[in-house]
Amino acid sequence: MITLSGVEKSFGLNKVLNDIALTLEEGSVTALIGPSGSGKSTLLRCINLLEIPQAGQLKIGNEEIRFSPKMRIGKRDIRRISQQTGMVFQNFQLFPHLTVLENITEGLVVVHKWPLDRAIKRAEALLAKVGMQHKRDAWPATLSGGQQQRVAIARALAPSPKVLLCDEPTSALDPELSLEVVAVLKQLAQEGTTMLMATHDLRLAANIANNVVFLEAGEIVESGTSEAIFTQARKARTKTYISTLT
């Protein structure tokens, strides 16, 4: 289980996240929706500590970290938390100079200190899971966007993170390529992968997520089950946002 409480993040004078409280149950899929600039990416980045919040607390499994403006967080603490997470980006971000297989083994060997043969076995199993085993030795640039994103998902899952963070995983893709990525995410959801997914795509959210969190101007306006938020949102701002996209 993952919990955030009282999380605040500012860039200079711009407060981007205000008093964020969020619980992700193990095996649940949560869609993070909200207008551009509402803080979705920053919230994901505050969970894997690509950004360090100025206040609040974060718990992932047995690991816990507290933030305060006066306290500098050490590299070891950052690693202890970030290693519990896997991240999938809008623009895939595969390493261009590594093959598909090496994209997955690299972190296992370098960061997690796995022996190479074990890393290769893990990478092959994950490539099979996302339907990319036939591209094992290909270069990322030769793949379609949907294929690159499936490899990126396999890479993120390789060290068995407690949570898979996905930032607009389909928004750089044409509709038909988006479908193959959605199919992979849906399968992972059904297998009990804990996920937090920022998306503009309400159909993707409704299709995969158990829970929906609506973020606006750095605050959680409303959260609940997908059904409750999509069919009977209580707050006017949530209803307005959903109606503009459907």
Sites of contact with Mg ion (CB under 5 A): 40-41
Reference 7, options 45, 55, 51, 78; nearest CA is 55
Q: With the CA atoms of 217, 41, 148 and 80 taken in that order, what torsion angle do they form, in degrees rounded to the nearest 10? A: -160
Which is closer to ligand ADP, CB of 125 or CB of 245?
245
Q: Which residues bind ligand ADP (CB under 6 A)?
A: 11, 16, 34, 36-42
Whole-number Å distance between alpha carbons of 30 and 225: 9
Residue 37 interacts with, from ligand ADP, Mg ion, none (CB under 5-8 Å by kind): ligand ADP
**Cβ of residue 212: shortest distance to Mg ion, in angstroms?**
16
Unique residue bearing structure tokens 């899952």: 157
Residue 199 interacts with, from Mg ion, ligand ADP, none (CB under 5-8 Å by kind): none
b/e string for 22-56 if b means 16 or more Cβ within 10 A?
Answer: bebeeebbbbbbbbeebbbbbbbbbbbbebebbbb
Which is closer to Mg ion, CB of 41 or CB of 48?
41
Residue 16 interacts with, from Mg ion, ligand ADP, none (CB under 5-8 Å by kind): ligand ADP
- For residues 173 and 141, the answer to whether their CB atoms sit within 8 Å is no
Residue 39 interacts with, from Mg ion, ligand ADP, none (CB under 5-8 Å by kind): ligand ADP
**Cβ of residue 190: shortest distance to ligand ADP, in angstroms?**
27
**Cβ of residue 39: shortest distance to ligand ADP, in angstroms?**
4
